[in-house]
Each structure stands twice: as C-alpha cells, then as structure tokens.
Chains A and B, each alone.
Chain A
Amino acid sequence: MHAIIRPRFLGAVLSATSLSCVLLAQQSPQPPAPIPAQIITARKVFIANLSADGVYPEYLNSIGGPNRPYQEFYAAMKNLGRYELVATLGDADLVFEIQFRGDPNVPIKGSFAVTILDVNTHFPLWTVVEPVEFGGRQSTKQKNVAGAIARLVESVKNLAVPPATTANPQK
C-alpha cells in the first residue's frame, strides 16, 4: 500500500510543483512603475520642516519637540551625502518636506513622511512613509524614532539610486 501511494504521491507533488512554476511565470508581476527622473538626476535639495499634522502633539513633545523629525532627518540626509543640502529654495532642484503624521485609527503609532516636490512646478512627485511605534519608555521612544528615520532615509536612498530597469522616465 505504502509503495503504491508513494510514487503516485510523488508524481502529484511533482506535477503540482511544475504547474505552480508555469502559473507563477504566467503571473509574473508587472515591472514597477517608473520613478520620476528628477529624483534620480537632482543634486541639490532643500529640506522643509512640516513638523506634524497635529493629531498627536504630545508625542512630538515626548521625543524632543516638534522639530525633532526635521533635525533627525536633516542629519541623516547629510550623512547620506547623496544630495547637497542647500539653504534656499532658489538653489534647489527638489524640495523634501518632512512631517510626522498621526493616525487617529491607531493611537499607538504614527508615521514619518517625506514628500518630494518638483521645485519648478511645486507638484509632489513622490511620498515615502515609514511607520513609527510610539513606545512606552523614553529609551524605546528614542530608539523607535531613530530607527524609523533611518529606514526613511534608506528608502530615499533606494529611490534616488534605483536599479537600471526602474530609472527610465515615465514613458
């Protein structure tokens, strides 16, 4: 009995596996939509401090005040070195707006968002969002902020230096 079932079972597994491979190949995901060329070609960036959306002001106070996300993000972007951080909008190719956003649906966490704007048209090109858990202890809060900002900068870095396949313009 065992000997009879085993080859049948193995056959079924093999055919299911090969069928899955075919189906997966057929359902191959569409190539990612392009990243705007300005983000890839830009060199100079002005960072704007949008502070917070006002949903959880007490959270920002607990992590060092309303300017904490801006200060943390600015320092991390400077360390990254991908863009020259300029002091005026007139010198910039792009504007990065950093903001903390509360989520009224989830009172234990929010997110840090960076909106990238085209300096000529003022239209937003892209938005990167990183969730942050508030945390209870002060040390946990500080750790969570630093971690979320680091992930945010990593996302900006990946966006600004994308693989060759996604670096094409939107055409």
Chain B
Amino acid sequence: MLPFQVSRIVPVLMATLLLTPILIAQQAKDVPTTPAPVPVQIATAKKVFISNFGIDSTSLAKVFEREGGQLLPYNRFYAAMKDWGRFELVSSPAEADLIFEIRFRTPYQDTPQLEVAILDAKTHFTLWRIIEKVDAPMRISKWGDNFEQGMNRLMDDLKKLAAPPASTANAQK
C-alpha cells in the first residue's frame, strides 16, 4: 500500500518542481519593467505648505511629552524640509502648489508610523502618501533614536520622490 502511494506522489512532486520555475519566470515577465509615473506636480512644485496633522495615538502621548511634546513630528519634519531646501515653505495654503500633511499615528494592533500625505493645492486631491514605521524599542530611552531613524527614512523617500530620475518624472498622461 505504501509503495503505491509513494509512486503516485513522486511524479506529482517532480512535476511541481519542474513547473514552478517556469511559472515564476512567466509571472516576472508580466511585471512592468518601467515604473509608474510620479505625479508631475510633485516634481515641478516650488511652494509647499506644511500642515500639522497631529498625533493620532493616545497610546504614545506620554512618550511625546517626554521627547519634546506633540509638536515633535511637525517640528522635526519642518526642520528637515527647510534643511533640504528643495521647496519654498510658505505660510498659507493659498500660496502653495502642494500641501504636505505630517501626521503620527498607530494603526490598530500595528507599529506606530509617520505619514506624509501630499495634496494638490488646487484640486485638494491626495497625490501621494509616504509612510515610515517607527519601531517600538525595548527601552523607552531608545524611542527618540527610533523616531529619528523613521524621520530620516521618510525624508529619504521624499527626496527620491520629488527628485526622480528623468524617466519617472513624466506626467501621468
């Protein structure tokens, strides 16, 4: 009985092993090689208003009290944007080409995260969203380091997005 079962299973296994690489190769071919375009407004915008969207996580209220208050995400993001110098930071949405909404939140049963939503100032539509996790540390004293790392990754993402290579800077036409 057992040898019969094995003799049935072995060909099935062999076929699976042979077919899998072929299927994976076919799927890889289906993935588009050229990246989807970044909205042209992000590449061409000059003036940005930074909106403080606050902290959505009451669970971390005490940590923010300790680490510089609930303005920490806004203050750090603003300073990083100013240092970068890519955009002129304006004082009202009416003057801006884009609105950057900076927010810190903890999704349900998930890791806390920094989010920047990029909105078109004319149409109010959201064009893009960048999310970077802020890992919860084992010790609360390390939380500030993790926050800084998250903010640095967020800025790296934004720099890649707003200064894309020529091939991806095309408009969504």
Contact = CB atoms under 8 A, between A and B. Distances in A.
B55 A123 contact: no
B79 A33 contact: yes
Given A105-B59, A121-B121, A113 B91 contact: no
A134 to B, nearest CB: 11
Interface residues of B, number: 35
Contact of A123 (B71, B74, B119): B119
Contact of B54 (A109, A110, A129): A129
B53 A33 contact: no
10 contacts: A33-B78, A33-B79, A101-B56, A103-B59, A104-B109, A113-B54, A118-B92, A124-B53, A125-B93, A170-B90
A127 interface: yes
Given A36-B91, A105-B106, 6 more contacts: A32-B71, A33-B75, A34-B78, A127-B52, A131-B61, A169-B90
Given A32-B71, A33-B74, A121-B94, A105 B109 contact: yes
Contacts of B88: 171
A120 interface: yes
Contacts of A126: 51-52, 54
Interface SS of chain B: helix, strand, loop or mixed? mixed
Interface string B79-120: 100000000111111100001010000101100000000010
Contact of A109 (B50, B51, B56, B58): B58
Interface in A94-123: 101, 103-106, 109-111, 113, 115, 118, 120-123
**Closest CB pairs A-B (n = 8):** A127-B54, A33-B78, A169-B91, A123-B93, A121-B93, A170-B91, A103-B58, A131-B58
A128 interface: yes
A123 B59 contact: no
A106 B68 CA distance: 22
B124 interface: yes
Nearest to A118: B93
Contacts of B121: 121, 123
B146 interface: no
A160 B68 CA distance: 20
B41 interface: no
Given A33-B74, A33-B78, A123 B58 contact: no
Contacts of B119: 123
Contacts of B91: 34, 36-37, 169-171
Interface in A21-56: 29-30, 32-34, 36-38
